Amino acid sequence: MSTTLDLSPGEHVTLDDAADVRAFRLAGSDVSRDYQVIVQSASEAPGQSVDGCLRVAAERASGNVTPSRPPRLTSAGGELNRDLRRRESWFAREHVLREQEMRELAAVGARPIRSRSRGLDPLADALRPPELGDTLSFRVGVGANLVVNCRNPTMVMGEVRYAGEHFTIVEDLQFHDQPDSDRFSADEFETIGRQLDEVVYPVDVAYFGEPADIDNNGTVFALITAEVNKLTPAGEESVVAGFFLARDLTTRSSCEASNEGEIFYLVGPDPDEDYGSDISLNFANALARSTVAHEFAHLLNAQQRVTLGGGNIFGDREVAWLDEAMAHLAEEIAGLRAAGLGTRENLDLEMLTSSEEQLSIYNHFHIVNQIRLGRFLRGGCPPDPNGPAVTPALGDAAGEDPGGVESLAFRGFAYGFARWLGDQFGASGSGGALPGSREEELFRYLTSGGPAHFKGITNVERTLQAVAGVEMEWEEILSLYLTSLIADDRAPADADPRTQWKTWNLEALFRQLSDSNLGDRCPFTRNFPLTPSRVNVHVATNSSTEFTVNSSTGRYFSLVSSGATPDLIVEVMDPAGANLPGRARAQVTVLRMR
């Protein structure tokens, strides 16, 4: 053993040499100490995991110890309120739509429309912006079980209910059979439309690039259609909220169902279950705002790479985890703009809910992201003793969204990473899309992947190099991000600033969520959702804990003494006592908290 760490409060070190990871010493002291130890797999291979064992022994402790397996925690009881549960459930199914669409586009040999070139048969009235009261026709090619079909699309007629500077909202004529009390009023369409125009469009475009306007009509369509409602049968809880289809960016000659334009499909109010599961006016209102912010980011990402960037619709689109990272970030930045807030304000719950209007904005744009992040930190709901380490952070074995409940923690990892990345490497200064920074420059480059359309981890590394002038490999990026999750606003003031979030105060935010009416529901049942396995340190300490860690995640341990701290020998191995396999690209970060 060649490495001894004697850290100051707030100092952290990452060990990545195989011999150092296998065994290292923590220097003792005549005072109490608190170390956070994060055992990581920096593997870039999605869907991969490795089993390991952490042994902590006071230098002079003796005797063998049988590795313990912490008991699986059970839920504290209760569930998130119904609307929140249904909102997050859609994202657990979204991957099915994406996968089926790509299979269908490949089967028909769909060809993308290139930058500002006209399709063969653009949307009705495409040469002029639509006007209030216009009747337009659209093609919807998504059916039961989210099957996407380029052939034999359903034709939908709709009325323009909002015609704004950037967005046009169209209401499916099928909803005209419902009583007026079950539909959005003209004022509600105006309110939603103005928020899309004045909040969502400016920040999404600043962060993710301009839309290509392939139908040459100067607008983006939001089609509220009963065909989306029909995708969620009556009584089903996992509601389909809305989506963007890459199909609409392909030529109609290669995919008959293409609308050859920028369009989103949204669920509409249906409290009486005329077309599917019950959707209240308030629920549909909330979905329209957050869903468009999210799906618009997906559209812009695809257009920067394919329509405007000339890339391949199959091979050059961003990988799932980073695509979703930016789409969930889009929800957050829209919420910040709507509330008149900026980045790098170290926000907590009280700062975002100081009025009824602020509370409404928080519920529309932020709460579901924080549920996902909390699920990642807790290792799911019910919580897993391995915490974040069980999350398929980079997706399933194919690098796709894992779907189901695992998708929620997967998205939590991704959203948190995007926010931390912007905080740390986005340009500072005024004049940005939001007060506090000019981080959008970083994300615009990340969206396109640069001229070579880099993807995933390589895209992150090249973007930092090109935009921030930072040469950093994934191992270091990952260790800083994972350390920030336990250190933000908790480590001593002189801790490495790269281990701190600037936009959110994670410690205060989750403590306040735990104190709120959501506090009896996972992931908010504790003051902070990330709970490292605790090792009590004393002269006879000799403990061993087995764990599992997935690619690009970490297993957290807290080594705490209440009095004098002995020298500690920390060993990381596989359950049989051998070195962790090389494919794990194992590394260990040690942070001294006090």
Q: Does 143 share its domain with 164?
A: yes
Per residue in 264-275, pLDDT (tens digit) is 999 999 999 999
Inside any domain, residue 271: yes
pLDDT surpassing 80 at residue 128? no
- Sign of the torsion angle spanned by Cα atoms 541, 546, 551, 554: negative
- Residue of 223, 232, 231 whose CA lies nearest to 259: 223
pTM metric for this prediction: 0.92
Query: Higher-confidence residue: 429 or 329?
Result: 329
- CATH number for position 54: 2.60.120
How confident is the prediction for the chain on average, in pLDDT? 91
C-alpha span between 161 and 159 (Å, rounded): 6
Q: Which of 329-338, 454-463, 537-546 has the lowest mean pLDDT?
A: 537-546
pLDDT surpassing 50 at residue 129? yes
Last residue of a domain, one of 251, 276, 291: 291
pLDDT surpassing 90 at residue 51? yes
Q: What pLDDT sits at residue 116?
A: 56
Per residue in 197-247, pLDDT (tens digit) is 999 999 999 999 999 999 999 999 999 999 999 999 888 877 899 999 999
* Mean pLDDT to the nearest integer, 561-571: 93
Q: Does 139 share its domain with 272?
A: yes
Residue 251, Ramachandran bin (φ over 0: left; ψ between -120 and 50: alpha; else beta)? beta
Q: Does 124 share its domain with 10?
A: no
pLDDT surpassing 90 at residue 83? no
Identify whether the C-beta of residue 27 lies closer than 8 Å to the C-beta of residue 586. Answer: no
Q: Does 10 share its domain with 49?
A: yes
Q: Does 171 share its domain with 47?
A: no
* Mean pLDDT to the nearest integer, 283-288: 89
Last residue of a domain, one of 265, 291, 317: 291
Q: Does 93 share its domain with 222?
A: yes
Q: Does 121 share its domain with 11?
A: no
Q: Does 194 share its domain with 274?
A: yes
Q: Does 50 share its domain with 103?
A: no
pLDDT surpassing 50 at residue 186? yes
pLDDT band at 84 (very low <50, low <70, confident <90, very high): low
pLDDT surpassing 50 at residue 79? no
Query: How would you class 556 by CB atoms within 10 Å of its CB: exposed for 0-12, middle for 13-18, buried for 19 or more?
Result: buried
Q: What pLDDT sits at residue 95?
A: 76
% of the chain exceeding 90 in pLDDT: 81
Total number of domains in the chain: 2
pLDDT band at 78 (very low <50, low <70, confident <90, very high): very low
| Residue-number span of the structural domain to which 570 is assigned | 4-74+526-592
Inside any domain, residue 493: no
Structure-token match 């920028």, residue found = 262
Q: What pLDDT sits at residue 1?
A: 62
Q: Does 121 share its domain with 190?
A: yes
Last residue of a domain, one of 261, 291, 321: 291
Inside any domain, residue 236: yes
Q: What pLDDT sits at residue 87?
A: 64
Structure-token match 């369509």, residue found = 221
Q: What pLDDT sits at residue 90?
A: 62
Inside any domain, residue 235: yes
pLDDT surpassing 70 at residue 569? yes
Inside any domain, residue 446: no
Q: What pLDDT sits at residue 290?
A: 87
Inside any domain, residue 146: yes
* Mean pLDDT to the nearest integer, 153-180: 96
pLDDT surpassing 70 at residue 517? yes
Q: What pLDDT sits at residue 520?
A: 85
Inside any domain, residue 89: yes
Cα of first residue to Cα of last residue in the chain, in angstroms, is: 25
* Mean pLDDT to the nearest integer, 284-313: 92
C-alpha span between 571 and 569 (Å, rounded): 7
CA distances from 75 to 72, 385, 523 (A): 10, 12, 9
Q: Does 69 share its domain with 89?
A: no
Per residue in 362-419, pLDDT (tens digit) is 999 999 999 999 999 999 999 999 999 999 999 999 999 998 888 999 999 999 999 9
Query: Amino acid identity, residue 433?
Result: A
* Mean pLDDT to the nearest integer, 455-471: 97
pLDDT band at 120 (very low <50, low <70, confident <90, very high): very low
Identify whether the C-beta of residue 422 lies closer than 8 Å to the C-beta of residue 330. Answer: no
* Mean pLDDT to the nearest integer, 73-97: 57
CA 292 centroid distance within chain: 15
Q: Does 102 share its domain with 32?
A: no
Inside any domain, residue 329: no
Per residue in 487-504, pLDDT (tens digit) is 999 999 999 999 999 999
* Mean pLDDT to the nearest integer, 160-181: 96
* Mean pLDDT to the nearest integer, 153-175: 97
* Mean pLDDT to the nearest integer, 50-79: 59
Most confident of 23-27, 70-74, 93-97: 23-27
Q: What pLDDT sits at residue 201?
A: 97
* Mean pLDDT to the nearest integer, 99-115: 91
